[in-house]
Chains A and B, each alone.
Chain A
Amino acid sequence: MAIYKSAIEKPITTALIFVAVIVIGIFCYLQLPIDQFPEMDPPYITVMTTYPGASASEMETNVTKIMENALNSVDHLKHITSQSKDNISMVTLELEWGSNIDEAVNDVRSFVDMTRNNLPDNCGTPIIFKLSTSAMPICQYSITADETYAGLDKILNDEVVPQLNHIDGIGNISLSGAPDRYVYINLDQQKLDAYGLTLEQVGQVVSANNLNLSSGTVKMPQEQYQMQVRSEYIESSEIENLMVTMTPQGQQVFIRDIATVKDTIKDLSLDEKTNGREAVRLIIAKQTGANTVEVCREVRKELAQIQQQLPTDVKIEKIYDSSENIQNSINSLEESVLYALLFVVLVVLFFLGKWRATIIIGITIPIALIVAFIYLKVADSSINIISLCSLTIAIGMVVDDAIVVLENITRHVERGEDPHEAAIYATNEVWVSVIATTLVLVAVFVPLTMLTGMAGIMFHELGWIVTVVCCTSTLVAISLTPMLSSKLLKAKKVHVDADGNLIDDEKGKRSWYDRTVVRFLDIVDHYYARSLGWCLNHKVATFLILIAFFVASLIPVFMGKIGTDFMQQQDNGRLSVSVKLQRGTRIEETLKTARRLEARFVELVPEIELINTSAGSNDDASIAAMFSSTMNNKISMTVRLPKKWQRDRSIWEIAEVLRQEMARYPEIIEYQCNVAGGMGGGSGNTVDLEIYGYDFDRTSQLAEQSRQLISALPGARDVNISREDDRPDIKITVDKEKASRLGLSSATISTYLRNRVSGMACGYLKDDGSEYDIVVRLDEEDRNSISDITDLTIPTATGKTVKLSEVAQVGEYWAPPTIERKSRQRIVTVKVTPYETSLGELAQAIQAQVIPQLDIPVGYSTHIGGNYETQQDTFRDMILLAALIILLVFITMASQFESLLKPFIIMFTVPFALSGVVIALWLTGRSLDMIGALGLVLLVGIVVKNGIVLVDYINLMRERGYALNDAIQMSGESRIRPVLMTAFTTILGMIPMAVSSGEGAEMWQPLGIVVIGGLTVSTFLTLYVVPVLYGAMSKRGERDKQKKLREKFIFLNIKVKDNQ
């Protein structure tokens, strides 16, 4: 028994099955995490190798090159880049998006193991890192304090962090700029010299008096005691009173005589300020797979509670909270979905004019959509921008199947059939073609799931969701829809008067709907049929007009009015500013500039809610410092602005204001002002000009030249060169002969220098369960110039002292920059951000105007990369995809019509969709990006669906024996309503998306614009192109058919003779 028949015969079972589906769907929906994008692991693997003592270029030849050669054969490798700096080599592999990272890490590990023997002997074990999403912070808070600032570290570590750690799914919590308590013993070089002391002696005295030691057991007659010497410092002031030595005169020398003891916070190396107040940044990450929105919500709740327990001057302020953006985007998309649903129902009501029919359609849409949530749950995905966009796209499509079935049932019922029987037989008539049209959609969307690269991750989900939803809607259309129709639709009443005559109800009783909408639609039908008749009689003229229109619509493309982007930038109300001053600038000087900038920014942009500034580097010895060069000359700011609907200026305008301000400072050599957003707030929207070549001077010069040329281009902002300038170092060259005569070696000298300049660690001061470093070092005044360094006193092996200048030469020296390589070649990158222009246009301008002007020697090359390259790759993928889709759609249609010619007729409407897209983009001033390109691909499917409806009906009419032109005109007249209806449901379904102004709306707007533009134009033209082409193409073929038929049944021509 067919599915629709069982469904109609067993209404309760059918209804309950769908109730079950709805319940499971809602259950899944409630359990689904909310996220911005589908889960994707950034495909980066880094191999870090240390080789103590090697310079950058030695690192490059001895370590990096060997590593690169070995790792180059890792599967799915896209780019291999490396950085070689003093002592450290880092090779980063970028794999294809979506490849299996764990497998790749194993691969990398085995390659690294194989090369171990080729590395220099002193090399450390290469460390393999995998970048994971859980490493990215989901929210940041700034904690400011006035009086309690010095104790903030303790408050945070003892109260705030442990409480936050209780939250489910929370990952790493790190503090940036927290003040560390330190006990510094600052020695006076001259006094030391006067007493003949060395720094190390003082250090030993300090350590030796800070002990807890067990000194044996004391046995008494009855008891036994452990004996312990307890002499740890309780307070830092105790240190001052320690005796260091005795003078030959018998005078005692205390620490207070030769040093100042300061119990203070650590010397400034990283400075955090929020709105000019001392601040600590709390950076929170989540565990992989945890729900960002939930974790952030919990963090907010916890922090609000913690706030009450904290001293009153401690304030916790949000710097950014990625969940807010996600939540807002999702909310505005959910709104779009609901509006789309409403619009679609209204369209159906308008065209069908029946409450009951509309209700039936209205019930079937949510069921199809709910199944998408079940899919998401099964696929372990989340409610994200892509999944909700997919739903919006699907809404317009899911009604089509239900409408076809419902229309046929209604037609049967209106003929006077019983709804129950009408439902069975009417469904029987159309179910095959309903499935066939769904197959066309499947042919469009399944290839999306095969897309690779970054686009693949995003569209994989879209492809599956739309496929799943469309298949469900078909299933619903042939089971639930007939069942509901059989129950809800009313049979036409038959009235019989007293004499047994049939009373015709129809006459004179016309409803409001019939008088207005139906009349209007009739007029539309009529005019359409007339104009179609004209077109059929003037085929050549029609074609010429259409071709002229098509060519004219493409003019904006040839004029270069349609730019291309990778993804639209979002206005999330957050800017990140980074500023670079002259290398070697002292942190305190950097801070002065930072304060000045902050003040000016607030003045220029009164909208600013919060500025968080950090300058300097966190800790010279921490692992994080390895990833960044010394940053004393760098300032980075996060500027938080109100939501975009709460201010007049867009974030790009504000960024431009800030840029212009920064350009006015002579001390700023480089500045960037990025609009944070997009993929996890990460990489900006940049075009990278990559310059490959071996010679540093040559490539630096090329880079500088291109920077100047690019800066002159309109729309080029934040032009930055990746290569750092040479760094001034103080180089100490040990005279080995002199040193060894004094019993010193280079190693001991370097230790002594370190003790004097950075300080010698002498144990800890324990207070309340925490340990604080005690550091003995020279007073700052004795170590802040080159001559001071030359004057440092160093103990010799014999116990005497000697000045550094006697055993070594101190000089200034320029350290070579970090050596960056890509694809195993040295590279320098010039990064450019477009402003008021698109990525594609900027890249073309660079290609056309900058590169030819560069004098590129043989052996050097340039390449345009960055997001532009990703965009090009994606577009190439998209074109391939479109080709695949067109082929599949063709196959589906050809098999449906059992004809090779008719699919062509329908395919001819696709170019007109392109016209519509171009016009829509041109009118709205948008550029075509990845999402828009996706819309273009989808259009192929949606547009041909309209054509199928028409061609199918013309075929039907022809087979029913109507003459060609009559058949075409009749079909046009009868099919214009369904075509308009399906087109309007899709167009109106997209409108909320296209006009939405919510957070993150920039991203999906292009999709709405592209689909609306393309579909509007192509629907209108389909109504003419398809019938006219059908008429032009099939005339001869059909006549031949008659002839062939006669030839086949030639027996009728045999003359029957009487005698036989």
Chain B
Amino acid sequence: MKSVFIIYNQANTERVEYMLDMLEIRGFTMFEQVQGRGTNNGEPRRGTHTWPEMNSAIITVIPDDKLHELLEAVRKLDMRNPEVGVRAFVWNIEQTV
């Protein structure tokens, strides 16, 4: 089991949800309106006058075999409009109850 943390510009919300649906990933936890900034070129998303945009984030825990597919999809989404932005980070899941 892997945990995937997807952070995306909130303008991508519908697409991310659609992506999860298509990949038949049912379970997720969503954090709406989170702030952040990218490591390299990523524009800050602070919800302020200076940086008005905001991100949202989703954590989803998926079986290992779906991981590749999901990351692929995230990558496609990023390629479609790089300015809007989406990133995904993966953790191992030690245990679940």
Interface of A toward B, CB cutoff 8 Å: 412, 415-418, 420-422, 425, 428-430, 432-433, 492, 494, 502, 956, 959-960
Whether A421 lies near B80 (C-beta < 8 A) is no
For residue B37, give the distance in angstroms from its CB to the closest CB of chain A: 12
B13–A429 contact, CB under 8 A?
no
CB–CB B13/A421 < 8 A: yes
Q: Which of B21-29, B47-55, B61-69, B89-97 contacts A (4 or more CB under 8 A)?
A: B47-55
Q: What is the CB-to-nearest-CB distance from A56 to chain B, in angstroms, rounded to a whole number?
A: 75
Quick check: A416 and B83 within 8 Å, CB to CB?
yes
Using A412-B11, A418-B11 as known contacts, say yes or no to A429 and B84 having CB atoms under 8 A apart.
Answer: no
Contact of A416 among B14, B49, B54, B84 (CB under 8 A): B84
Residues of B within 8 A of A416 (CB): 80-81, 83-84
Are B84 and A415 interface neighbours, CB within 8 A?
yes
A428 and B52 form a contact (CB under 8 A):
yes
User: CB of B79 within 8 A of chain A?
Assistant: yes
What residues of A have a CB within 8 angstroms of the CB of B12 in the complex? 417, 421
**Which residues does chain A contribute within 8 Å of B54, judged by CB atoms?**
425
- Decide if A417 touches B50 in the complex (CB within 8 Å): no
Contact A494 B80 (CB under 8 A): yes
Given that A422-B11, A425-B11 are contacting pairs, would A415 and B81 also be in contact in the complex, using a CB cutoff of 8 Å? Answer: yes
Q: How far is the CA of A21 from the CA of B44 in the complex (A)?
A: 41
Taking CB atoms, residues of chain A closer than 8 Å to B10 are 421, 425
- Which of B49, B52, B84 meets A417, CB within 8 Å? B84
Q: Please, which residues of chain B bring their CB within 8 A of the CB of A418?
A: 11, 14-15
Does B50 lie within 8 Å of A421, measured CB to CB?
no
Q: Which residues of B contact A420 (CB under 8 A)?
A: 14
> Hey, which chain A residues are within 8 Å of B83, CB to CB?
415-416
Within 8 Å by CB of A429, from B14, B15, B52, lies: B52
Residues in B whose Cβ lies below 8 Å from that of A959: 49-50
A sample of 25 inter-chain contacts (CB < 8 A) reads: A415-B81, A415-B83, A415-B84, A416-B80, A416-B84, A417-B12, A417-B81, A418-B14, A420-B14, A421-B11, A421-B13, A422-B11, A425-B10, A425-B54, A428-B52, A429-B52, A430-B52, A432-B49, A492-B81, A494-B80, A502-B79, A956-B49, A956-B50, A959-B49, A959-B50
Establish whether residues B11 and A417, one from each chain, have CB atoms under 8 Å apart when the complex forms: yes
Q: Is the CB of A960 within 8 A of B80?
A: no
Q: Are A425 and B79 in contact (CB under 8 A)?
A: no
> Known interface pairs A418-B14, A421-B14. Does A429 touch B81 (Cβ–Cβ under 8 Å)?
no
Chain B residue total in the interface (Cβ 8 A): 17
Docked Cα-Cα span, A649 to B25, in Å, equals 86
Chain A contacts of B13 at CB under 8 A?
421
Q: Which residue of B lies closest to A433 (CB)?
A: B49
Task: Indicate if the CB atoms of A429 and B53 lie closer than 8 Å.
Answer: yes
Smallest CB gap from A957: residue in B: B50
| Interface positions of B from 1 to 38, Cβ below 8 Å from A | 10-15
- Chain B residues lying within 8 Å of A960, measured Cβ to Cβ, are 50-51
Within the complex, the shortest CB–CB distance from A504 to chain B, in Å, comes to 12
**A587 CA to B96 CA, complexed, in Å:** 118
Beyond A417-B81, A420-B14, A502-B79: 19 further Cβ-contacts under 8 Å? Answer: A415-B84, A416-B80, A416-B81, A416-B84, A417-B84, A418-B11, A418-B15, A421-B12, A421-B13, A421-B14, A425-B11, A425-B54, A428-B52, A429-B52, A433-B49, A494-B80, A959-B49, A959-B50, A960-B51
Interface centre among B11, B13, B15, B80 (most CB of A within 10 A): B11
B87 to chain A, nearest CB (A): 17
CB closest chain-A residue, reference B13 = A421
Residues of A within 8 A of B49 (CB): 432-433, 956, 959
- Alpha-carbon distance A412/B12, docked complex (angstroms): 11
How many Å from the CB of B69 to the closest CB on chain A? 15
Q: Which residues of chain B are within 8 angstroms of A429 by Cβ–Cβ distance? A: 52-53
A502 and B14 within 8 A (CB): no
Is the CB–CB distance between B53 and A425 below 8 Å? yes
Residues of A within 8 A of B79 (CB): 502
B53 to chain A, nearest CB (A): 7
A residues within 8 A CB of B15?
418
Cα of A494 to Cα of B49 in the assembled complex, Å: 31
Beta-carbon nearest neighbor of B54 in chain A: A425
- Measured CA separation A836–B78 after assembly (Å): 73
Contacting residues, chain B, for A412 (C-beta < 8 A): 11
Q: Which of B10, B49, B80 has the most CB of A within 10 A?
A: B49
Roughly how many angstroms separate A639 CA and B56 CA in the complex, as a whole number?
A: 78
Q: Which residues of A contact B81 (CB under 8 A)?
A: 415-417, 492
Nearest chain-A residue to B44 (Cβ)? A960
How distant is A5 from chain B, measured CB to nearest CB, in Å? Answer: 12
Closest to B85 in A: A415
Chain A residue at minimum C-beta to C-beta distance from B48: A959
Minimal beta-carbon separation of A330 from chain B (angstroms)? 45
Please measure, in the bound complex, the distance between the C-alpha atom of A471 and the C-alpha atom of B11, giving whole angstroms: 28
Please give, as numbers and ranges, the residues of chain B lying within 8 Å of A492 by CB-CB distance. Answer: 81
Cα separation A421 to B79 with both chains bound (whole Å):
19
CA distance A494 to B94 in the complex (A): 40
* Cα distance A565–B63 in the bound complex, in angstroms: 85
| Chain B CB within 10 A, most for which of A425, A494, A502, A960 | A425
Q: A422 contacts which chain B residues (CB < 8 A)?
A: 11
Shortest CB–CB separation between residue A578 and chain B, in angstroms? 67
Write the nearest CB–CB distance from A778 to chain B, whole angstroms. 97
In the complex, the chain A residue whose C-beta lies closest to that of B81 is A416
Bound complex: CA A432 to CA B12 (Å): 23
Q: In the docked arrangement, what's the CA distance between A956 and B48, Å?
A: 10
Alpha-carbon distance A420/B15, docked complex (angstroms): 12
Q: Which residues of A contact B50 (CB under 8 A)?
A: 956, 959-960
Residues of B within 8 A of A432 (CB): 49
| CB neighbours of B52 from chain A (8 A) | 428-430
Q: From A415, which residue of chain B is reached at the shortest CB distance?
A: B83
CB distance from A894 to the nearest CB of B (A): 16
Report the bound CA distance from A926 to B12 in whole Å: 58
Task: Give chain A nearest CB distance to B30 CB in angstroms.
Answer: 15
Q: CA separation between A425 and B45, bound complex, in Å?
A: 12
The 7 closest A-B pairs by CB, nearest first: A416-B81, A429-B52, A959-B50, A417-B11, A415-B83, A421-B11, A425-B11
Residue in B closest to A502 when the chains form the complex, CB atoms: B79
- Look across to chain B and name the residue whose beta carbon is closest to the beta carbon of A956: B50
- Minimum CB distance partner of A952 in chain B: B49
